[in-house]
Amino acid sequence: MKNVYRILNVALLSGLILVMGCEKGLEDETFSVYDQNVLTKPEHAEQAVRGAYAALKDNGGFGYYAGHLYWLYEYPGEVVTTTGTARQGGQIDQLTYDASNSTFNGVWISIFKLISRTNEAEELISNVDYTGNSSTVALQNQNLGEVRFLRALAYYDATSLWGAVPLFIKSSSKFTESDENPPLTEQSVIEDAMITDLQFAEQHLPQSYAATEVARATSGAAKALLARLYLRRGEFAKAAEKSLEVMNKNYDLRTQAEGGIKSLFATNNRSDNEFIFVLKSSNEAGSYGINSNSFGINSVPWDFNRGWNNFPIHLQFYAQFAKEDARRELLTGIYKALYGTIVSVPKEFGGPGGKAPDTTAAKYVYNLKYPHVNNYNYAGFNNVVIIRYADVLLMRAEALNEVSGPNEESITLLNQVRTRSGLPALTLAAFTTKDKLRDEIFEERNKELFMEGRKRDDLFRWGRSASNGANPLLKFKEKIVPRLLSPSTYSDAVDYTKYPYPQNEIQSNTSLEANVNAGRVR
């Protein structure tokens, strides 16, 4: 009899789980590393919780929230685009993708890897005797709240990207034969499970942690994710209520006196009261591939600081910012290239312009929310923002408008975000209809939250509200068709609210029909 370590792959859905096996001829018995007979103490549960958090940056500095997830959320919008050399990203940007696009498969695996880790951790935590090991039930519930929050976050992403997906809320020790080829579960059923997880999390998570543990989930994070989910479901009264509960949790915006929004994203800003939930990155050089993100090097071009140029931003987006808007400073309006040439946004797009030969007209602008530090230093030092307070304020402003039309509180919330960036306050009298205020809110979200993973959801939600639920693609089509290389690429026969299921998943999961991607691709 020989103990071996192997990878248990359940139709690529449970993620990669280390297991211990015992071979006897053709029989194969497997045990999760979270075996309750071996891991019995609160410190083991703590390790499982930390392992779940680590899955947020699956594959080091590239995976999931460290990079690749944002390809799927940002590329299809009208703000971010790609270069001709970025084949996988270019397909997503230009809507020419199919099920074989590797980004779909990579993000799918990352999401279900996180789900798998949370399920294993949940069982371990539930079976540990906390009180018998000099700990407390309160800490046990906190640990459970953390992994259930992370599971809900993973399923939020999965359902935003694909709609119906397999639902796993049990550990691998409870898998049956049918779990090897799991069927798709309706999105509404999964969302109900998410709500249950988040309601547990908001009840049992603390309001804050020590500064060194800024990236752990709090009750405010659970409430904010609930608000985001309710907003997506069109349950606006619930979204408004949950957003208000977050506002009562002592978060605030980083003020102009504190450096404003530009300093919020400064490399040395490791924590801030505006951050509600973040992916923690290392602030040490050489952390690439271990505990970092890839946004800095992906966001800028080679001639800026030897970046990879994966997220160029259209000049038309830069043109939307007023000159006094501090958020415009988070874009490369003008910079000195590596070889001495000044690259400047043309005046017709609101930039400073300039004349050759000393000045070259910029073809794009670039995101500076995640500064690329030092040539060839691939590590992203910033904590990646997943939820921040400005988003919550704008969510409540939107929800209140959808409930009762233009109102003073929505305007006040908008003004908190606008005036922080140096813009004049809006007045209620300027918004005579729900549609007009809705458009203002979404345009404000666009300028405040660009390259933070909210774009795709916002476009679909805007379309649903503007069409009274009839056409979630209304604003998506309006905004992106003018940015496509060929407008004929867009097809009214495709439901762009749902990405195609990855080809690898279709081939490995016999529960998925061969035509499962009908209507999801051309």
3-state secondary structure of 145: helix
Q: What is the pLDDT of residue 37?
A: 63
Query: Residues 97-101: contacts with CB within 8 Å, 24+ apart?
Result: 97/499, 97/500, 97/521, 98/500, 98/503, 98/521, 99/500, 99/501, 99/502, 99/503, 99/506, 99/517, 99/521, 100/503, 101/500, 101/502
Lowest mean pLDDT among 23-32, 146-155, 177-186, 342-351: 23-32
pLDDT band, residue 281 (cuts 50/70/90): confident
Q: Which fold has domain 1-203+473-522?
A: 1.25.40
Domains 1-203+473-522 and 206-280+383-453 share a fold: yes
Q: What is the pLDDT of residue 178?
A: 82
pLDDT band, residue 287 (cuts 50/70/90): low
The mean pLDDT value for 82-102 works out to 89
Lowest mean pLDDT among 299-313, 406-420, 426-440: 299-313
Backbone angles phi, psi at 195, to 5 degrees: -60, -40
Pairing of strands 312-313, 275-279: unpaired
Write down the domain spans for the chain: 1-203+473-522, 206-280+383-453, 303-370
Q: Is the pLDDT of residue 309 over 60?
A: yes
Q: Rounded CA gap, 297 and 307, in Å?
A: 5
Range among 20-29, 34-43, 390-399 rated most confident: 390-399
Q: Over the chain, what is the mean pLDDT? A: 89
Backbone angles phi, psi at 31, to 5 degrees: -135, 135
The mean pLDDT value for 383-390 works out to 95
Tokens 């402003």, residue located: 397
Lowest mean pLDDT among 145-159, 165-179, 339-353: 165-179
DSSP 148-203: HHHHHHHHHHHHHHHSSB----S-GGG--GGGGSPPPB-HHHHHHHHHHHHHHHHH
Q: Is the pLDDT of residue 329 over 60?
A: yes
End-to-end CA distance of the chain: 53
Q: Is the pLDDT of residue 268 over 50?
A: yes
CATH assignment, 206-280+383-453: 1.25.40.390
Question: Quick check: 159 and 190 in contact, CB under 8 A?
Answer: yes
Q: Is the pLDDT of residue 18 over 50?
A: no
pLDDT band, residue 235 (cuts 50/70/90): very high
pLDDT band, residue 19 (cuts 50/70/90): very low
More confident of the two residues 15 and 427: 427
Q: Is the pLDDT of residue 10 over 50?
A: no
Q: Is the pLDDT of residue 96 over 50?
A: yes
Q: Rounded CA gap, 120 and 123, in Å?
A: 5
Q: What is the pLDDT of residue 3?
A: 25
